[in-house]
Structure 1
Amino acid sequence: MTNLSRRGRSRLRILSLGAVAALALSACSGGVTGGGGDEGTEEGPIRLGMLAPFSGSEAAFGPYMKNGAQMAIDEINEAGGVLGRDLELVTEDDACDATSATAAANKLITSGIVASVGGYCSGATLPTLPIFSGAGVPMVIPAANSNQLVDADENGVFLINGTGDQQAQAALKWAEKQGVKRLALVDDNTDYSADLADAVAEQADGTGIEVVLEESVTAGESDYSANVNSILSADPDMVYWTGYYQEGGLIAAQLASAGYDGELLVADGTVDAKFSEIAGAAAQGVEGTFTQTPDMLEGADDWISKYTELYGEGPGPYSTQAYDAVRVVAEGIKQADSTDSEAVIKAIQDIDGLELFSGPLKFTEDGTLSEGGFAIVEVGPDGAFVLKDDLQS
Structure 2
Amino acid sequence: MRKLYGTALAVVMASAALMTAGCGQGLLGGDDAGSAEKKDEPIVLGMLIPQSGSEAAIGPYMSNAAQLAVDEINAKGGVLGRKLELKTADDACDPQTAAAGANKLVTAGVHVSIGGYCSGATLPTLPIFGKAGIPMIIPAANSQELVDQKLKNVFLINGTGSQQAGAAAAWMTKDGATKVALMHDNTSYSKDIALRTQTLVDEPGGPETAILEAVTPKESDYSANITKVLAKKPDYVYWTGYFQEGGLIARQLRQAGYQGKIMVGDGSVSPKLIEIAGAEAATGVYATMTQTPDTLQGAESWIADYTKKFGSEPGPYSNQAYDAVRLAAEAVTKAGGTDGQKVIAALEAIDGFSMFSGPLKFTPEHTLSTGGFQILVVKDGKFALQDALQ
Q: What TM-score results when the alignment is normalised by the length of structure 1? A: 0.93
Q: Give the match's secondary structure for 2:162.
A: helix
Distance in 1 (alpha carbons) for counterparts of 2:90 and 2:233: 41
Structure 1 window deviating more from structure 2 (23-32 vs 179-188): it is 23-32
1:139 is the counterpart of 2:136: yes
Report the AA paired with residue 390 of structure 1: A
Q: 1:80 aligns with which of 62, 77, 100?
A: 77
SS of the residue aligned with 1:137?
A: coil
For the Cα contact (< 8 Å) 1:181–1:237, is it kept in 2?
A: yes
1:122-133 → structure 2 map (5 Å cutoff): 122-133=119-130
The aligned counterpart of 1:196 is: 193
| Distance apart, 1:188 and its partner CA | 1.0
1:297 equivalent in structure 2 = 296
Q: Which amino acid is the alignment partner of residue 302 of structure 2? A: W
Amino acid at match of 2:182: L
Q: Which residue is equivalent to 1:167?
A: 164
Q: 2:218 aligns with which of 212, 215, 220?
A: 220
The one-letter code matched in structure 2 to 1:24 is S
**Higher RCO, 1 vs 2 (CA within 8 Å, ≥6 residues apart):** 2
Cross-structure match for 1:253: 251
Instruction: Count matched residues.
Output: 379
For 2:25, the equivalent position in structure 1 comes to: 33
CA distance in 2, matches of 1:110, 1:34: 10
Q: 2:53 — aligned with what?
A: 56
Note closer, same or farther for the CA distance 1:130–1:31 as it changes in structure 2 (3 Å cut): farther
Partner of 1:385: 383
Q: Within 2, Cα distance between the matches of 1:129 and 1:198?
A: 24
Preserved CA contact (<8 Å) 1:37 1:113: no
CA contact (8 A) 1:130 1:154 kept: no
Query: Does the Cα contact within 8 Å between 1:182 and 1:212 map onto a contact in 2?
Result: yes
Distance in 2 separating the partners of 1:32 and 1:151: 25
Partner of residue 100, structure 2: 103
Distance in 1 separating the partners of 2:119 and 2:348: 22
CA–CA separation in structure 2 for the residues paired with 1:31 and 1:267: 39
Contact 1:25 1:31 in 2 (8 A): no
Q: Are the aligned partners of 1:379 and 1:386 in contact in 2 as well (CA < 8 Å)?
A: yes
**CA contact 1:34–1:110 (8 Å) conserved in 2:** no
Please give the alpha-carbon distance, in whole angstroms, between the structure 1 residues aligned to 2:60 and 2:8. Answer: 26
- Larger deviation, residues 36-45 vs 345-354: 36-45
Does the Cα contact within 8 Å between 2:25 and 2:31 map onto a contact in 1? no
Aligned residues of 2:123 and 2:146 also touching (Cα < 8 A): yes
* Worse overlay, 308-317 or 204-213: 204-213
Give the AA of the match of 1:303: W
In structure 2, C-alpha distance between the alignment counterparts of 1:85 and 1:158, rounded to whole Å: 24
- 1:109-128 map, 5 Å: 109-128=106-125
Partner of 1:22: 13
Q: Which of 259, 271, 274 pairs up with 1:273?
A: 271
SS of equivalent to 1:269: helix
SS at match of 2:89: strand
Whole-angstrom distance in 2 between the partners of 1:286 and 1:348: 37
Over residues 137-187 of structure 1, what are the superposed CA-to-partner deviations in whole Å (9 max), with x where a residue is unaligned?
Answer: 011001111111101112211111100000001001100110111111100
Counterparts of 1:67 and 1:283 in 2: how far apart (Å)?
A: 28
- Which residue number in structure 1 is paired with residue 317 of structure 2? 318
Given the alignment of the two structures, is residue 355 of structure 1 paired with residue 377 of structure 2, yes or no?
Answer: no
8 Å CA contact 1:25–1:32 kept in 2: the answer is no
Offset from partner CA, 1:90-144 (integer Å, 9 cap, x none): 0000001001000100000000001100000010001111111111001100111
Counterparts of 1:144 and 1:288, CA distance in 2 = 17
Q: 1:263 aligns with which of 261, 271, 275?
A: 261
Judge conservation of contact 2:24–2:107 (CA < 8 Å) in 1. Answer: no
Matched letter for residue 264 of structure 1: I
Report deviation, 1:31. 4.5
Deviates more, 1:17-26 or 1:315-324: 17-26
CA RMSD of aligned residues (A): 1.7
Q: Which amino acid aligns with 2:263?
A: L
CA contact (8 A) 2:32 2:339 kept: no
Letter of the 2:51 counterpart:
F
Q: Which digits, 9 at most, give the CA deviation of each residue in 1:301-338, with x for residues without a partner?
A: 00000000000000000000000001111111111112
Moved more, 138-147 or 26-35: 26-35
Structure 1 residue 37 displacement after superposition: 9.5
Residue 236 of structure 1: how far off its partner (Å): 1.0
CA distance in structure 2 between the partners assigned to 1:31 and 1:287 by the alignment: 47
1:42 to 39, 43, 62: 39
Structure 2 portions without partners, runs of 5+: none
**Distance change in 2, residues 1:227/1:49 (3 Å):** same
Of all paired residues, the percent bearing the same amino acid is 57
8 Å CA contact retained: 1:38, 1:112: no
Quote the residue 1:90 is aligned against. Answer: 87
- TM-aligned CA deviation for residue 380 of structure 1: 1.7
Cα gap change, 1:42/1:19 in structure 2, threshold over 3 Å: closer, same or farther? farther
Which structure 1 residue ranges, 5 or more long, are not aligned? 1-9
Preserved contact between residue 145 and residue 159 of structure 1 (Cα < 8 Å): yes
Distance between the aligned counterparts of 2:266 and 2:92, measured in 1? 18
Q: What's the offset of the Cα at 1:32? A: 4.4
Change (3 A) 1:91 1:37: farther
Paired residues of 2:8 and 2:121 also in contact (CA < 8 A)? no
